């Protein structure tokens, strides 16, 4: 069984650290942020610094105030 977590604001600060900790526990993490460039950079940083794979950490652009963005998740 797989466990997934969607983390909003995952490109920096507490969100980023949450993604890192969850992925290290075997959770498949969907890192989300409004800024696509920063989100992708955060994913690349996680993969480089912590050796996570594309299967462990994923990115999805998300604006939690936009219903269309939310439904795309």
- DSSP-assigned beta bridge partners for residue 71: none
pLDDT band at 26 (very low <50, low <70, confident <90, very high): very high
CATH number for position 36:
3.40.50.720
pTM given for the model? 0.91
Q: Residue 53 is inside which H or E element, if any?
A: none
Q: Half-sphere exposure of 9 toward its Cβ, with a 13 Å CA cutoff?
A: 7
Count the residues in the chain. 73
Domain count, the chain: 1
Which residues form the domain of 28? 4-71
Percentage of the chain lying above the pLDDT 90 cut: 97
């Amino acid at each position: 069984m797989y466990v997934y977590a969607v983390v909003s604001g995952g490109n920096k600060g507490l969100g980023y650290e949450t993604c890192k900790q969850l992925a290290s526990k075997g959770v498949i993490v969907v890192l989300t942020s409004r800024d696509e460039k920063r989100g992708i950079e955060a994913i690349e940083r996680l993969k480089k610094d912590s050796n996570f794979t594309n299967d462990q950490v994923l990115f999805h652009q998300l604006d939690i105030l936009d219903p269309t963005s939310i439904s795309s998740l």
